[in-house]
Amino acid sequence: MLKMNKLIYSLILIGVILLSGCEQTQEEQNEPEKDFTYLNELTHEEFKAKFDAGEEFFIYIGRPDCGDSRKFEQEFEDLFVKLHEDGSVNFIRYELDQKLYYFDISSIIPDFDKVLRKEYHEKYDFYFTPTLLHYKNVDEDPESDAIIIAEWDPVYGFEPTQYMNWFYDTGLIEPNQDIIHDGGTDRVYDESEEK
């Protein structure tokens, strides 16, 4: 009888934990979608035209209905967007708004359409969102159109270190322009300190 009571209490506890997790997920899904307006947005046709022409360009591929894309966009805003007191945009650091495009894939590929995702992966070298890509001229390297990619991963997610490395590796951000410590003793990196 004692074992039966422990089993019942354990099952109830597991059920409560699972239900509370579902409620949290439901709350996250009910968050309003916020437009990501900090970068110049490419339509599907413009994206294809740039790619097919072999242009070199940098692009963020996301979707407003993706929690990980929304998380990245909030982190992008926190890191790179300087706002006026009234909430309007003052400027975007490193002129990323002039160098990096945004492509909302949600109208082209429904979230769970694995067939379309596979087609896009084979042609454009990305599968998940959020993704940051640097496409280059295909004539320079016919083996790959995307030379540098940072993409959300089902196991590891999309962490700030991953996408910050992408910004550094592509040259969109110079390391000596950033804060090198996040905390009470923040300071700006100064190359003269190395000498």
From first to last of its 195 residues, what are the pLDDT tens digits of the chain? 666 666 565 545 454 444 433 333 444 445 555 578 889 999 999 999 998 888 889 999 999 988 999 999 999 999 899 888 888 888 888 888 889 999 999 878 876 677 888 888 888 888 888 999 998 865 555 555 567 788 888 888 888 888 888 888 888 888 765 544 444 444 444 445 444
Q: In sequence order, what are the residues at sequence separation of 6 or more whose Cβ sits closer than 8 angstroms to the Cβ of residue 155?
A: none
Contact 96, 39 (CB under 8 A): yes
Question: Cα–Cα distance between 121 and 144 in angstroms, integer?
Answer: 12
Full-prediction pTM beyond 0.85?
no
End-to-end CA distance of the chain: 75
Which residues is 82 bridged to in the sheet? 91
Question: Cα–Cα distance between 33 and 111 in angstroms, integer?
Answer: 15
**Structure confidence at residue 122 (pLDDT):** 83
Domains and CATH numbers, the chain: 40-175 (3.40.30.10)
